[in-house]
């Protein structure tokens, strides 16, 4: 099982903050989005993390990993 987290506007888009996802084989982060938010298009500027490290959508996710999706962070 992997834990999936959605932050800020993505939480609003998906309608959930955390989802536990059962997977049988390694999948990509992109696959995780499609499985947890099948009715939502992944916004083009979305950042993602795998086990609290920035990651790419094609990176591989394994059982017991944590995936997070969040919008870009800006400061001022």
Asked whether residue 66 is domain-assigned, the answer is yes
Total tally of structural domains belonging to the chain: 1
Place of tokens 């017991």: 64
Cβ proximity of 18 and 3 under 8 Å: yes
For 21-60, write each residue's pLDDT tens digit.
998 888 999 999 999 999 999 998 899 999 999 999 999 9
What domain range includes position 41? 2-70
Asked whether residue 76 is domain-assigned, the answer is no
Asked whether residue 53 is domain-assigned, the answer is yes
pLDDT band at 72 (very low <50, low <70, confident <90, very high): confident
- How many CB atoms lie under 10 A from the CB of residue 20? 9
Most distant CA pair in the chain: distance in Å?
A: 43
Asked whether residue 35 is domain-assigned, the answer is yes
Q: Specify the DSSP element, H or E, that contains 11.
A: helix 9-14
Res 75 pLDDT > 80: no
- Residue 76's pLDDT is 58
19 alpha carbon, distance to own chain's centre: 10
């Amino acid at each position: 099982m992997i834990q999936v987290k959605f932050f800020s506007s993505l939480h609003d888009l998906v309608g959930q903050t955390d989802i536990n996802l059962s997977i049988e084989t390694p999948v990509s982060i992109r696959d995780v989005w499609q499985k947890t938010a099948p009715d939502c298009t992944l916004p083009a500027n979305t950042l993602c993390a795998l086990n609290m490290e920035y990651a790419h959508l094609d990176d591989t996710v394994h059982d017991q990993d944590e995936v997070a999706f969040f919008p870009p962070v800006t400061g001022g």
